[in-house]
Amino acid sequence: MIRALVLCLLPFAVHADVIRVATFNTELSRKGPGLLLRDVQRNDPQVQAVVAVLVAMQPDIVALQGIDWDMDGLALTALSRKLRESGLDFPYHFAAQPNSGLDSGLDLDGDGRTQGPGDSHGWGLFTGHGGLAVLSKHEILRSEIQDYSKVLWRDLPGAELPTVDGEPFPSDQAQAAQRLSSTGHWVVPVATPIGHISLMTFHASPPVFDGPEDRNGLRNRDEIRLWSLLMDGDLGPVLTNRFVIAGDANLDPDQGDGRRHAIRSLLANPHLQDPQQKDATGALATVDWKAAGKMRVDYVLPSADLKVVDAGVFWPAPNSDLRDAAQSASRHRLVWVDVAVP
Nearest CA-CA partner of 101 in 126, 65, 68, 119: 126
Q: Is pLDDT above 70 for 3? A: no
128: phi > 0 → left, psi -120 to 50 → alpha, else beta; which?
left
How large a percentage of the chain has pLDDT more than 90? 91
131-136 vs 195-202, strand pairing mode: unpaired
Q: What is the residue type of 60?
A: D
Does 3 or 277 have the greater pLDDT score? 277
Per-residue confidence (pLDDT) for residue 212, from 0 to 100: 95
Handedness of CA 81, 85, 87, 89 (dihedral sign): positive
61-67 vs 19-25, strand pairing mode: parallel
Q: What is the residue type of 308?
A: V
Per-residue confidence (pLDDT) for residue 273, from 0 to 100: 98
Per-residue confidence (pLDDT) for residue 237, from 0 to 100: 84
Handedness of CA 73, 242, 193, 247 (dihedral sign): positive
Q: Which helix (H) or strand (E) holds 37?
A: helix 35-41
Per-residue confidence (pLDDT) for residue 8, from 0 to 100: 43
How large a percentage of the chain has pLDDT more than 70? 96
Distances (CA, A) of 92 to 9, 61, 135, 189, 233: 22, 9, 6, 12, 29
Report DSSP state, residue 11.
G
Q: Is pLDDT above 50 for 4? A: no
Return phi, psi of residue 53, to 5°. Answer: -65, -45
Q: CA-CA distance, 131 to 133, in Å (whole number)?
A: 7
Please say whether the beta carbons of 157 and 104 come within 8 A.
Answer: no
Give pTM, 2 decimals: 0.94
Q: Is pLDDT above 60 for 51? A: yes
Does 30 or 16 have the greater pLDDT score? 30
Q: Is pLDDT above 60 for 151? A: yes
Per-residue confidence (pLDDT) for residue 319, from 0 to 100: 83
Where does the pLDDT of residue 317 fall: very low under 50, low under 70, confident under 90, or very high at 90 and above? confident
Please say whether the beta carbons of 178 and 156 come within 8 A.
Answer: no
Return phi, psi of residue 168, to 5°. Answer: -55, 135
